[in-house]
A = this chain, B = another copy of it.
Amino acid sequence: MMIDGRKWRSGTASHQPIFGLHAMSPTSEVSNLCLGKTVRDSRTDIIGSISAVSSSLIVGKAGPMVHTGACVASLLSQGGSKKYGLTWRWLRFFKNDRDRRDLVTCGSAAGIAAAFRAPVGGVLFALEEMASWWRSGLLWRTFFTTAVVAIVLRAFIDLCLSGKCGLFGRGGLIMFDVYSANVSYHLADVPPVLLLGIIGGILGSLYNFLLDKLLRIYNLINEKGIFYKVFLACLISIFTSCLLFGLPWIATCRPCPADTSEECPTIGRSGNYKKFQCPDGYYNDLASLIFNTNDDAIRNLFSKGTNDEFQYSSILIFFSTCYFLSIFSYGVVAPVGLFVPVIVTGASYGRFVGMLVGAHSNLNHGLYAVLGAASFLGGSMRMTVSLCVVILELTNNLLLLPLIMLVLLVSKTVADAFNGNIYDLIMKAKGFPYLETHAEPYMRQLSVSDIVTGPLQLFQGIERVGNIVHVLRTTKHNGFPVIDEPPLSESPVLFGIILRAHLVTLLKKKAFLSTPVLPGGSDASKQFSAGDFAKRGSGNSDRIEDVVLTEEEMEMFIDLHPFTNASPFTVVETMSLAKALTLFREVGLRHMLVIPKISRGSPVVGILTRHDFMPEHILGLHPLLVRSRWKRLRLRFPPLSKLF
């Protein structure tokens, strides 16, 4: 079952979701990745995720849920799927970049909301980690989405109360309920909590570091072909299985506690006390953690009134197993998430710290496990508010909130001293051109004109068809400035910017003029409707190679004016690069025109796209900056880096 599930998956799809990645970029890779094959992908995601989770790999289901949500949203934004007969006319209103981005963000939020039954946490997670830019309209849309998710979830839990839907209704809306009316902690409890935060920060940044290195190795293996991919997946799966079945033998049997209300020991059902080869009246504590689903393991670790359940050695073994297995399991071809493994791992060392502090603390071990999970989440994902709310919604313990905030503060601060957050690292390892929000310090030394490269491709307001075809065929640019030059005007005039997709549409319709003179009255735009320029699904976009034109048509002209965006965003060439990046990211742009500071000659000196702002590109042009002192302060361990 386990290997089948993986095989099936590896045979049909070759990409793998990174938790929320697809919604992050300011442009539409998300759509590029999701679209076209969306329906199939969502399906494979769901099946692959079920297989991976049920195979007891240390992986989470949140990632695939988010990916599924985002893909369904993306599907909606391209007007449904023609192949599967799922199209509606009203969906055409979403066929534009902004709505597509918004829908994908909403879809991801819905995924989180469904995975953790945390609707508010879903909204915040989508905004803090996934959305590349934020506006109040988007907040309202995501809130709407997750509210619907919450209501539907609640309704299904209601319908499932009779037990018809397996374990779905169990736990209700709160997955790991640790509520207790009289949680009390005092100042003496703060030092161990601070310690947890520091440990979480260090372990979290190390986790990110190792995962990053491993992903790069996996990339090398995966590039060699499907056979290697499947082999890798099988290898890790078999290794995981052997390890998990073998490990509980290390732990000694312990007598069942006398005062528990739970059944002890148990076989073949979820519970705190697993029998695993022990005599009656005894249980194996390591097996109680390992032979459960991840969710149940978390529940066991979080549970109160079980302070003596685990031995030090079992918890430590479980912690290191989870820590490394979750890293190894992430890179394989199955669609997996990071949230649950991180919570399991964090909870195990949290519980360990709780056991060490022991009776000196007012908090029970279960609450230490919650704080440990928070610290590890903070240390690897580096979010604040959204993690707070997600943990609150998962555990329903509001009284613990000040401590959770403290732990998150400390672990994030510690971890930020070493490296970046896990999603950024994964995106870099995967090679996605993700543009960070903040400007690197060396960007303050550069002006925009320092990074403008290459010959600028301009179009005249009334341009020869052959020219357009030539430029489109020989370059890969997606936007072109449109200039009116003499004799159309006295001096060169910046008219606007036109997109490649729109040019191809124009060429396909062959709305040509025979002379370069503007005909009074006749307007080519009347031949087009807004739908002609609607955003297509990425698989379906028109390509210039498909346009066939005669020699005669090549000599004709197009009036670009009605189709040009006359409101291009511009920066002066002396603009600081850091400020230009801020503008680019805050407003969510794709193209930015660079205009000269001097009032003479061409009104445009260059065009900037996301590619031009990528640190690799800038440092490639200005290699001296690599060694400049203008770097972000970050602790580095060269020996450790050399090791890999």
Residues of A near any B CB (own CB < 8 A): 119-120, 123-124, 128, 133-137, 139-140, 143-144, 146-147, 150-151, 153-155, 158, 172-174, 179, 181, 186-187, 384-385, 388-389, 392-393, 396, 398-399, 401-402, 405-406, 408-409, 412, 437-438, 447, 489-496, 566-572, 574-576, 579, 582-583, 586-587, 595-603
Contact = CB atoms under 8 A, between A and B. Distances in A.
Given A143-B385, A567-B579, A494 B150 contact: no
Given A187-B158, A384-B143, A575 B586 contact: no
Nearest to A579: B567
Given A181-B179, A583-B569, A598 B491 contact: yes
B603 A597 contact: yes
A173 B401 contact: yes
Contacts of A598: 489-494, 603
Contact of A595 (B438, B492, B570): B570
A429 B155 CA distance: 44
Nearest to A491: B600
Contacts of A603: 597-599
B438 A137 contact: yes
Contacts of A119: 401-402, 405
Contacts of A582: 587
A147 B402 contact: yes
A362 B602 CA distance: 73
B385 A124 contact: yes
A402 B438 contact: no
A186 B603 CA distance: 65
9 A-B pairs closest in CB distance: A147-B405, A150-B402, A143-B384, A567-B576, A491-B600, A599-B603, A154-B402, A586-B586, A567-B575
Contacts of A120: 385, 388-389, 392, 401, 405
Contacts of A398: 173-174, 392-393, 396, 398
A490 B598 CA distance: 9
A385 B120 CA distance: 7
A135 B153 CA distance: 32
A402 B494 contact: no
A579 B583 CA distance: 13
Contact of A384 (B140, B495, B570, B597): B140
A196 to B, nearest CB: 15
Given A147-B408, A179-B179, A569-B571, 13 more contacts: A120-B388, A120-B392, A128-B136, A139-B384, A147-B406, A174-B399, A489-B598, A495-B574, A566-B575, A567-B576, A587-B587, A599-B601, A600-B600
B597 A495 contact: yes
B576 A402 contact: no
A490 B599 CA distance: 10
Nearest to A396: B398
Contacts of A146: 405
A487 to B, nearest CB: 15
A172 B184 CA distance: 10
Given A139-B385, A150-B401, A491 B599 contact: yes
A572 B570 contact: yes
A496 B155 contact: no
A53 to B, nearest CB: 25
A155 B412 CA distance: 23
A388 to B, nearest CB: 5
Given A120-B385, A147-B409, A181-B179, A134 B134 contact: yes
Contacts of A136: 128, 437-438
A134 B187 CA distance: 34
26 contacts: A119-B405, A120-B388, A124-B385, A136-B438, A143-B388, A158-B186, A173-B398, A174-B399, A179-B181, A489-B598, A490-B600, A491-B600, A492-B598, A492-B599, A494-B574, A494-B597, A494-B599, A567-B572, A567-B574, A567-B575, A570-B595, A572-B595, A582-B587, A597-B603, A599-B599, A600-B600
Nearest to A172: B399
